[in-house]
């Protein structure tokens, strides 16, 4: 059987055609926001840019950035380009503090979101024959609905379980014969624990063989563990509320980078400090310009997410849309301890390589006197004695020093001792210095 696509012509279109779509969409978007969104009109006028000045994709560089605070200060509808009676649905970011950032959609936006999601799901192996369990919340969070709209288009059997009630989730999997599951990454670990308590072996007793996950950073090492527990293939789906929700991109069966839907977004990578555009393979902050959205188009939206674009424009799967490396962290996640900068993903990679270690960890940064101090609490995979725990902690501390350059304090605790998250994203870093 050949490669399956949801929209073959669009997913495999020659780059030249793709770029023509991008230029047309860019011109239209700049024209729309200039005419309809006072915030952008002012910004463009201040920079002396008129929509007629956009003649090539290179002109993108001249456009102003949009940042999260612009969305907050224009909350709720200040950046909308359509009247409220054309907004068909509203979603909000999952953050628990501050003004939420919104996702606004016209009916056409919803339809296109469904298409992008369907492309991602088919890319992750979904067919009409799948029983698809959606474990992210179906509510203000974009996760649940995104998967729902996509799966509807593919025609799979949907189990819209939504978040939480883990025992019940597992029962649904068994009763309905779930074959594919969507989740926030850390929730698959929670399911695995509860399944073990219930005496359910996910690999043997369920039919779940495909997973599609995102919404938080995860390392390949963590992915490997999840695949083993479930005996499944795991796909990485990327997205954010401001752009549409999940479905901005997805990795294909080759599992080498996330294809970004370039007929809907123009992607750039910039140096987060200077705002300068970076080249392929250079790591920096992802910036997206929407080129099809009606309700809330965005120019050069700074995501704070860190990654790099692949140089190569060809992929064995036949898709021509550019790939990015999996998300490596967020600009704001970078932690500075005793003058050394690092990302939590570096810690996760080291921990998950150790077979004696479980999947839960918590990084706490405090001050001891005037110095920074980092404590990493990590669960052992199996019950562990005091001496053994100390030995393992010393080993981990040594391994971590190799990547962090300083020596963190490591405390190994027993399985199940660290707090769990049932609904929403895991919190793995606590900075007590601020
Ligand atoms: O988390 C949308 C989503 C739902 C994506 C379900 C995938 C699956 P927000 O709550 O607005 O939207 O959070 C967006 O989550 O800027 C990234 O920092 C992070 N993120 C999303 N997908 C991934 C991923 C949803 N695959 C923020 N890998 C983004 C790493 C991800 N981080």
The pLDDT of residue 77 is 97
The confidence score (pLDDT) of residue 334 equals: 83
Distances (CA, A) of 194 to 37, 172, 183, 233, 412: 49, 14, 15, 21, 21
Residues paired with 287 in a beta bridge: 268, 302
- If one compares 8 and 329, the residue with the highest pLDDT of the two is 8
Return the ligand 1 atom nearest residue 258 CA.
26
pLDDT (0 to 100) of residue 248: 98
**Confidence at residue 340, expressed as pLDDT on a 0 to 100 scale:** 85
Predicted local distance difference test score (pLDDT) of residue 99: 85
Q: Is 239 in the pocket of ligand 1 (CB under 6 A)?
A: yes
How remote is the CA of residue 344 from the centroid of ligand 1, in Å?
16
| pTM, full prediction | 0.93
What integer pLDDT is reported at residue 405 of this predicted model? 86
Using a 6 Å cutoff on CB, does residue 215 contact ligand 1? yes
Token pair belonging to 33: 């926001």
* Mean pLDDT (whole number) for 70-79: 95
pLDDT of 97: 64
pLDDT digits (tens, 9 = 90+) for 92-150: 986 656 788 999 999 999 999 999 999 999 999 999 999 999 999 999 999 999 999 99
For ligand 1, whether the C-beta of 186 sits within 6 Å is no
Bridge partner residues of 329 (DSSP):
306
Residue 212 Cβ contacting ligand 1 at under 6 Å: no
pLDDT digits (tens, 9 = 90+) for 237-251: 999 999 999 999 999
Looking at the CA of residue 326, tell me the nearest atom of ligand 1. Answer: 28
Q: Which of 124, 144, 240, 332 to mutate to test the pocket of ligand 1 (most atoms within 8 A of CB)?
A: 240
Q: What is the pLDDT of residue 370?
A: 83
Tens digit of pLDDT for each residue in 400-431? 999 888 899 999 999 999 998 888 888 899 99
User: Which one of 90, 113, 238, 272 would you pick to mutate in the ligand 1 pocket, going by the greatest count of ligand atoms within 8 A of its CB?
Assistant: 238
Per-residue pLDDT for 1 more than 70?
no
Three-state DSSP at 429 gives strand
Q: Nearest CA to 150 among 170, 166, 179, 130?
A: 130
Measuring CA to CA, how many Å separate 79 from each of 191, 296, 365, 398?
39, 6, 38, 50
CA 28, CA 19: separation in Å to the nearest integer? Answer: 14
Q: What is the mean pLDDT of residues 71-80?
A: 96
Q: How far is CA 375 from CA 227, 304, 346, in A?
A: 29, 26, 15
Question: In this predicted structure, what is the pLDDT of residue 98?
Answer: 76
Nearest C-alpha to atom 29 of ligand 1 is from which residue? 240
pLDDT number for residue 96: 57
3-state secondary structure 377-395: EEEECCCCCHHHHHHHHHH
Token pair of 5 as six digits: 């696509």
pLDDT tens digits, residue range 357-408? 999 999 999 999 888 999 999 999 999 999 999 999 999 999 999 988 889 9
Q: What is the pLDDT of residue 94?
A: 65
What domains lie within the chain, and their CATH numbers? 1-330 (3.40.50.12780), 334-431 (3.30.300.30)
């Amino acid at each position: 059987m050949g490669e399956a696509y949801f929209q073959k012509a669009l997913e495999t279109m020659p780059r030249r055609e793709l770029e023509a779509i991008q230029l047309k969409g860019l011109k239209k978007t700049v024209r729309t926001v200039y005419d309809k969104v006072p915030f952008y009109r002012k910004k463009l006028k201040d920079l002396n840019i008129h929509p007629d000045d956009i003649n090539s994709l290179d002109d993108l560089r001249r456009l102003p950035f949009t940042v999260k605070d612009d969305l907050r200060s224009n909350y709720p509808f200040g950046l909308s380009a359509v009247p409220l009676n054309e907004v068909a649905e509203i979603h909000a970011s999952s953050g628990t503090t501050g003004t939420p950032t919104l996702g606004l959609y016209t009916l056409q936006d919803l339809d296109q979101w469904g298409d992008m999601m369907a492309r991602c799901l088919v890319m992750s192996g979904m067919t009409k024959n799948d029983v698809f369990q959606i474990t992210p919340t179906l509510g203000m969070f974009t996760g649940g609905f995104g998967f729902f709209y996509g799966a509807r288009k593919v025609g799979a059997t949907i189990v819209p379980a939504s978040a939480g009630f883990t025992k019940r989730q597992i029962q649904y999997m068994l009763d309905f014969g779930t074959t594919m599951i969507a989740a926030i990454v850390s929730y698959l670990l929670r399911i695995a624990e509860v399944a073990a308590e219930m005496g359910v072996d996910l690999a043997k007793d369920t039919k779940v063989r495909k997973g599609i996950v995102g919404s938080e950073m995860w390392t390949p090492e963590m992915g490997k563990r999840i695949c083993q527990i479930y005996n499944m293939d795991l796909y990485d789906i990327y997205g954010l509320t401001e752009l549409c929700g999940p479905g901005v991109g997805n990795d294909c069966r080759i599992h080498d980078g996330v294809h970004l839907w370039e007929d809907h977004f123009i992607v750039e990578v910039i140096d987060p400090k200077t705002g300068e555009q970076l080249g392929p393979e250079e790591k920096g902050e992802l910036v997206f310009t929407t080129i099809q959205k009606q309700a809330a188009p965005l120019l050069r939206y700074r995501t704070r997410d860190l990654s790099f674009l692949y140089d190569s424009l060809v992929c064995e799967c036949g898709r021509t849309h550019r790939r990015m490396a999996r998300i490596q962290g967020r600009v704001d996640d970078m932690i500075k301890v005793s003058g050394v900068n690092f990302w939590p993903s570096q810690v996760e990679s080291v921990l998950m390589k150790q077979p004696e270690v479980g999947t839960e960890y918590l990084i706490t940064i405090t001050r001891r006197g005037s110095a920074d101090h980092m404590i990493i609490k990590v669960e052992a995979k199996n019950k562990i004695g005091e001496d053994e725990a100390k030995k393992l902690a010393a080993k981990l501390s040594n391994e971590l020093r190799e990547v962090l350059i300083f020596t963190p304090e490591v405390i190994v605790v027993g399985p199940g001792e660290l707090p769990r998250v049932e609904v929403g994203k895991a919190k793995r870093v606590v900075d007590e210095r601020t």
